[in-house]
Amino acid sequence: MDEILLLAMQSVVEDLYGHVHRVSDLAMALGRTMDLAQEDVERLGLVGIMHDVGKVHVDPGILAKPGPLDDLERDHVRQHPQLGYAMTAAGFDPRVSQAILHHHERFDGDGYPFGLAGNSIPLLSRVVLVADAYDAITSDRSYQAAMPAVIAIEEITHHSGTQFDPAVVKAFLIIAAAGRLPLQTPVHLGVAAR
């Protein structure tokens, strides 16, 4: 089933193959660094691959728009976690579907679709959010050129405790310091996770 969904996603998700696999790989690395159970590391791999599956129901013109989205377009795009949940709830592990549903929730409660905060957000979602953010910052997008890994590290560190779970950021910084982030060389970090 996941192969069929990936084929459908190819027509609407920019750099689909690269993006979802980089998110999946980094999410799994984060899970291992956090000493999660092997079953959860495997779930993270699947969530990373499938987190944007709901975008098959989003207008491709909006997804490829080079400038900022207007409010209506933003609301349309923000439906993709719920659409992805609806697409996966019957055929996937419930923890995977729940992680897809909540992968845009923020640690401070300012995310979507439900404004969950802290530990109310499934841990798998909190992990995938960091992996997804890192890849979004370091990849070319229709609306933004790729930024260097060091900028992504600074952004994720800066938003620890607000957008991101500090425990996940701590694992992210361990991976970064070891030079194990995608498309980067070892970085000497002077900023600790908050």
Residue extents of the structural domains in the chain: 2-177
Please spell the DSSP secondary structure of 140-167, one letter per residue: -BTTB----HHHHHHHHHHTBTTTB-HH
Residue 189 in this model has a pLDDT that exceeds 60: no
Class of domain 2-177: mainly alpha
Record the pTM: 0.88
Tokens encoding 23: 């998110």
Residue 9 pLDDT grade (very low, low, confident, very high; cuts 50, 70, 90): low
Weakest mean pLDDT among 63-67, 82-86, 89-93, 104-108: 63-67
Q: Is the pLDDT of residue 186 over 50?
A: no
